[in-house]
Amino acid sequence: MSTSVQQSATPRESTQGLRRIGVLVHPTRNLDEPLRLLREWTQERGIEVVQIPAAYPQRRVADEGAAADCDLIVSIGGDGTTLAALRAGSVADRPVLGIACGSLGALANVKVAGASRALERFSRGDWLPRRFPALSIARSEAEPLFALNDLAIVRETGGQVRLTALVDGTLFARMAGDGAVVSTPIGTSGYAISAGGPLFLPHVDGFVFTPLPKHGGFAPPLVIASRSELVVDVAGAFAGARIEVDGQIAGVGVGVLTITFRPAVVTQVSFDDQEPLLAGLRRRGILLDSPRLVAEANRTGVNRRAET
């Protein structure tokens, strides 16, 4: 059976032939330390660094280059920056390493202090490829798109978005409200869970349709099999609607969307000693315990300290 996030059981071959690294950076965060570490590591080894274009304005840190001409793409920032790098990597078929700078997300998986070690391990082939899926989005009134994280259908102005959702030709729901979010497994830890959708663990197949607040009716978040087809018709939206793909506006008046699952679209560099998804979400405070149980645990801890 295929998996939504595929991770190899063995490290890759050595990549000591590394010649060029492409970098994408956050537009506003302080990047001095990770950039210093990247420059020192690459200069010592005679590796060229170029800057990959993105859909948002970046701070200029290197000469511009093409993702396809790089051996590795490095993102420095948060999950949004890493998503931009993953999109570039998916088109160019290049692996992506995410360095986290003040991020609460789950995609930028290397801390700044570990940047040099992560680059060295990659160059030695001591890394594990995580293969992420995507959503293919065919549009009745525009060019097709793909989403690595999520597709959001939201109201453009006042009023309500009206949409009809069908799975494999069977009607699921007709809704009027703020819209809906369709998420890949890696996207479920963002917009989807904030809207009340489920959280997918790695290796779970499928995608999720999560309604945003709506005017009456009942339509719970729907988990959809990877082999199924989701059709969302928003052609009848009264106030107009827009579509956002991976956090970027991708059009208005979206019409009919046909959404399917694409496995193993992009490769992220990971390592065997990185923390599991749930541990990372708990550490960042995205997953929180019941206050009653937290209070009981704190009380027990205080009592035990008093006894010693």
Structural domain boundaries in the chain: 6-127+271-283, 133-263
Residue 72's SS3 state is: strand
The question of whether 69 is a catalytic residue gets the answer no
What distance in Å separates the CA atoms of residue 46 and residue 27, rounded to the nearest whole number?
Answer: 27
| Domains 6-127+271-283 and 133-263 alike in fold | no
Contact 247, 119 (CB under 8 A): no
Nearest CA to 58 out of 89, 39, 35 is that of 35
Residue 3 pLDDT more than 50?
Answer: no
Q: What is the pTM of this model?
A: 0.86
Architecture of domain 6-127+271-283: 3-Layer(aba) Sandwich (3.40)
Write out pLDDT tens, residues 194-228: 899 999 988 888 999 999 988 888 999 999 999 99
pLDDT tens digits along 226-268: 999 999 998 655 567 899 999 888 888 778 999 999 999 999 9
Rounded to 5°, angle at Cα 245 from 231 and 49: 140
- State the catalytic residue, choosing from 63, 79, 150, 168: 79
Q: Which CATH architecture has domain 133-263?
A: Sandwich (2.60)
Token pair belonging to 305: 């300290």
Tens-place pLDDT, residues 84-101: 999 999 999 999 999 998
Q: What is the enclosing helix (H) or strand (E) of 110?
A: strand 110-111
C-beta neighbour count of 189 within 10 angstroms: 25
Question: Rounded distance, CA 308 to CA 93, Å?
Answer: 57
